[in-house]
């Protein structure tokens, strides 16, 4: 029996393992790095005082009253986290079909923004613009004849954005996926004197099953019931459409764009960054967090290693920053604390 002859390249001339031999050389050739300054911490806020309430489907994540929010944000900021994104849990009695509480300058989100700004003037504050925390039907916009109506919703979103800017929000993050909302919000902010308030648009936001735990956390799951958001959030089947959405948002004045969810959409992050070279953010959403935590709690994954690897993957794909519920844990670990 004839064995094939060794190839002329044997023994190999190229030995990539030379650069993996020891920690010093691995760190020397590492192409991407994770820093606390890459991370944005999404936080759930609720009414009350001194309250930390566990979110069942997101172990380690809590709904915080404003006083505790300020404490926690201060600690995370000290580890080098530049910004937080806040999500209010609106009491059920304040929800209605029009989501009117979104426009109340004394609502939970606005009070949280003011408290954070006062205590931590150097911390960036990002606030979602969408009506789902406030509507009794759990949709992100106004429902007319059984449909989420685009243009009427955009009008309300503009008012919501200005309300948040008045409270001191630094970055408005429209997460609603209505057409034309970025341009309208930009105009409304400018007219109200907030030309320095930035827009981080959820440009490529998919209709994803991975938002489940978030909807539990903010209490919109029950309101939404068996409804879905497929008429405004993107179809997971589509890639090119994400580039179109990003192009529109940039043309309308978005300063930064976001792809959401994160890990199942790394291809989209990569394409967006390559096509537009603008600040591009990934949102590692609640379901991604829950998956890693569930596996870690079962002893099936190493929590810290899986966390850091998942975050580094976003940097490799081209993301400039990551919204992640791991932010404080990851920042602490990266800071060597
Ligand atoms: C609200 C909003 C959602 C998330 C961020 N903003 C949920 C949704 O669109 O239903 C999801 C975040 C997460 O799952 O972590 N428009």
pLDDT, tens digit (0-9, with 9 covering 90-100), for 199-235: 999 999 999 999 999 999 998 888 898 889 999 999 9
Quote the pLDDT of residue 337. Answer: 76
Count Cβ atoms below 10 Å from residue 165 Cβ, excluding itself.
Answer: 22
Q: Quick one: which of 288, 273, 281, 287 has its CA closest to 323?
A: 281
Per residue in 35-65, pLDDT (tens digit) is: 999 999 999 999 999 999 999 999 999 999 9
Nearest CA to ligand 1 atom 8: 211
Residues of the chain with pLDDT under 50: none
Quote the pLDDT of residue 219. Answer: 87
To which residue do tokens 């902010």 refer? 189
Q: Which CATH number fits domain 33-334: 3.20.20.70, 3.40.50.880, 2.40.50.140, 3.40.50.450?
A: 3.20.20.70
Q: Looking at 260, 273, 315, 329, which residue is catalytic?
A: 260
Question: Which residues sit with their C-beta closer than 6 Å to ligand 1?
Answer: 128, 130, 132, 140, 175, 211, 214-215, 229, 285-286
Quote the pLDDT of residue 1. Answer: 61
In whole angstroms, give the CA distance from residue 264 to residue 210. Answer: 9
Nearest CA to ligand 1 atom 11: 211
| SS3 of residue 270 by DSSP | helix
In whole angstroms, give the CA distance from residue 120 to residue 251. Answer: 33
- Closest ligand 1 atom to Cα of 284: 15
CA of 279 to the centre of ligand 1 (A): 20
Burial label for 196, CB within 10 Å (0-12, 13-18, 19+), is: exposed
Distance, C-alpha 202 to centroid of its chain: 8
Quote the pLDDT of residue 98. Answer: 97
Domain positions in the chain are 33-334
Report phi then psi at 69, rounded to 5: -55, -45
Quote the pLDDT of residue 10. Answer: 85
Pocket of ligand 1, candidates 132, 137, 177, 232: which has the most ligand atoms within 8 Å of its Cβ, to mutate?
Answer: 132
In whole angstroms, give the CA distance from residue 85 to residue 37. Answer: 14
Q: Quick one: which of 79, 20, 93, 34 has its CA closest to 305?
A: 34
Handedness of CA 212, 214, 216, 220 (dihedral sign): negative
Query: How far apart, in Å, are the Cα atoms of 257 and each of 14, 33, 130, 189, 214?
Result: 40, 21, 16, 18, 21
Nearest CA to ligand 1 atom 16: 175
Q: Looking at 205, 229, 273, 315, which residue is catalytic?
A: 205
- Closest ligand 1 atom to Cα of 285: 15
To which residue do tokens 């806040």 refer? 86
Pocket of ligand 1, candidates 60, 89, 214: which has the most ligand atoms within 8 Å of its Cβ, to mutate?
Answer: 214
In whole angstroms, give the CA distance from residue 262 to residue 282. Answer: 5
Check: CB of residue 280 under 8 Å from CB of residue 257. Answer: yes
In whole angstroms, give the CA distance from residue 285 to residue 218. Answer: 13
Q: Quick one: which of 129, 206, 181 has its CA closest to 160?
A: 129
Q: Is 159 a catalytic residue?
A: no
Query: How far apart, in Å, are the Cα atoms of 14 and each of 18, 19, 22, 146, 217?
Result: 9, 11, 18, 63, 51
In whole angstroms, give the CA distance from residue 141 to residue 244. Answer: 22
Q: Is 95 a catalytic residue?
A: no
CA of 214 to the centre of ligand 1 (A): 6
**This model's pTM is above 0.85:** yes
Count Cβ atoms below 10 Å from residue 214 Cβ, excluding itself.
Answer: 25
């Amino acid at each position: 029996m004839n064995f094939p002859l060794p190839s002329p390249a044997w023994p190999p001339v190229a030995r990539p393992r030379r650069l993996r031999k020891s920690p010093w050389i691995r760190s020397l050739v590492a192409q991407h790095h994770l820093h606390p300054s890459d991370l944005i911490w999404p936080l759930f806020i609720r009414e009350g005082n001194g309250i930390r309430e566990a979110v069942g489907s997101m172990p380690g994540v809590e709904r915080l009253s404003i006083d505790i929010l300020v404490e926690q944000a201060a600690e995370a900021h000290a580890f080098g986290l530049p910004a937080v994104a806040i999500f209010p849990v609106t009491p059920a009695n304040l929800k209605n079909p029009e989501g009117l509480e979104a426009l109340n300058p004394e609502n939970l989100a606005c009070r949280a923004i003011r408290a954070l700004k006062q205590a931590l003037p150097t911390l960036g504050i990002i606030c979602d613009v969408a009506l789902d925390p406030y509507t009794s039907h759990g949709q992100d916009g106004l429902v007319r004849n059984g449909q989420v109506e685009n243009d009427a919703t955009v009008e309300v979103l503009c008012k919501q954005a200005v309300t948040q800017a008045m409270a001191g929000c630094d970055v408005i993050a429209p997460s609603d996926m209505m057409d034309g909302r970025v341009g309208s919000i930009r105009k409304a902010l400018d007219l109200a004197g907030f030309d320095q308030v930035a827009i981080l648009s959820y440009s490529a936001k998919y209709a994803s099953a991975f938002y489940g735990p978030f909807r539990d956390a903010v209490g919109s799951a029950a309101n939404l019931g068996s409804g879905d958001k497929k008429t405004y959030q993107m179809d997971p089947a589509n890639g090119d459409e994400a580039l179109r959405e990003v192009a529109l948002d940039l043309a309308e004045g978005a300063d930064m764009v976001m792809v959401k969810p994160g890990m199942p959409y790394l291809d989209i992050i990569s394409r967006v960054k390559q096509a537009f070279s603008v600040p591009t953010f990934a949102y590692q959403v609640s379901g991604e967090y829950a998956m890693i935590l569930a596996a870690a709690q079962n002893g099936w994954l190493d929590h810290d290693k899986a966390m850091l690897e998942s975050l580094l993957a976003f940097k490799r794909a081209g993301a400039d920053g990551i919204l992640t519920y791991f932010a404080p844990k990851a920042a602490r670990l990266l800071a060597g604390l």
